Amino acid sequence: MKEFEKKVALVIGGTSGIGNATTNALLQNGAIVHIVGRNVDKVADTNNLIKHSVNISNTDEVASLISIIESLDNLDYLVNASGIFGPKPFLEHTVDDYNSYLDLNRGFFFITQSVAKKMKNTNGGSIVNVGSMWAKQAVKATPSSAYSMQKAGLHSLTQHLAMELADDNIRVNAVSPAVVNTPVYHGVFGGKEEAEKALEGFNEFHPIGRNGEPTDISNSILFLLSEKASWVTGAIWDTDGGVMAGRN
């Protein structure tokens, strides 16, 4: 899309999975993309890609990132795509488990605040959060109480910011994926091959008959960022192979 040419995007979690697929799509469409992650070196250098090594769960590192955001001339897009996923029974959750999820939302909150201030002072912009189907319903095979709270928080933040920032020409939406084949599952199942084998069992969980791929989600994110969605804000878009519509 020509509208992305020379526009500036910030992708939180742009080093892998959905965030990386979104980064690649933006770059392919001519955008200048700042990516944020804990291990940015695993992403190959390329034109118009700027890397920021930041753990968004760390308040000091977030403060440093906010200083960088404030120094930018312009910022058109923000994608909040960082995530962790570790299914664990509610009765076994520890304080550290809980904090690992909720610390992410603190990072998202204040990074997004900084971005919104920048967008308000320029030409507005578009923000997309990566939520989750687990924020809307429970799956017994993947107990995810703290994870669901984190993602439900992002869904709620999306709607509140859509209302508050509309007058500043800032649109805020979210995607809500079901099972997507990303590296986040490698740790859950003990490695890439083990994860891919385990995820095969979730294909039929989706009415469409297959798990999602990162590009399935990044395609939706790009649409929501773009002017083709100029009358869409506050949406929590089920990008989930039909899971929320019903069951096979």
pTM: 0.95
Query: 11 exposed, middle or buried (CB, 10 Å; 0-12, 13-18, 19+)?
Result: buried
Q: What is the pLDDT of residue 26?
A: 98
pLDDT of residue 189: 65
Residue 248 lies in a domain: no
Q: Which residues contact 1 (CB under 8 A, 6 or more apart)?
A: 29, 222, 226
Q: What is the mean pLDDT of residues 130-148?
A: 94
Asked if the structure places residue 247 within a domain, the reply is no
| Alpha-carbon span 156 to 146, nearest angstrom | 15
Q: State which residues form the domain around 236.
A: 2-242
Judged against a pLDDT cut of 90, whether residue 175 lies above it is answered with yes
Looking from the CA of 37 toward its CB, the CA atoms found within 13 Å total 25
Model confidence at 42, pLDDT cuts 50, 70, 90, reads very high
Q: How many domains does the chain have?
A: 1
Comparing CA positions, the residue from 130, 6, 167, 146 lying closest to residue 87 is 146
User: In the structure encoding, which two tokens stand for residue 48, read together?
Assistant: 């118009």
Max CA separation in the chain (angstroms): 51
Residue 129 lies in a domain: yes
Q: If we measure between CA atoms, which residue out of 189, 191, 216 comes closest to residue 201?
A: 189
Query: pLDDT per residue over 90-120, tens digit each?
Result: 999 999 999 999 999 999 999 999 999 999 9
Instruction: Tell me if 18 is assigned to some domain.
Output: yes
Query: Which two tokens mark 182?
Result: 């990303």
Q: Are 74 and 124 in contact (CB under 8 A)?
A: no
Answer whether residue 208 is part of any domain: yes
Q: Nearest 5°: CA angle at 34, between 65 and 57?
A: 40
Query: C-alpha distances in angstroms, 107 versus 62, 80, 102, 122, 201?
Result: 7, 10, 9, 23, 33
State whether residue 53 is helix, strand or coil: strand
What whole-number distance in Å separates Cα of residue 63 and Cα of residue 15?
A: 20
Residue 78 is inside which H or E element, if any?
strand 77-80
Q: Within a domain: residue 185?
A: yes
The domain that holds 185 is classified in CATH as 3.40.50.720
Dump pLDDT digits (tens) for 183-226.
777 666 677 777 677 788 788 888 999 999 999 999 999 999 99
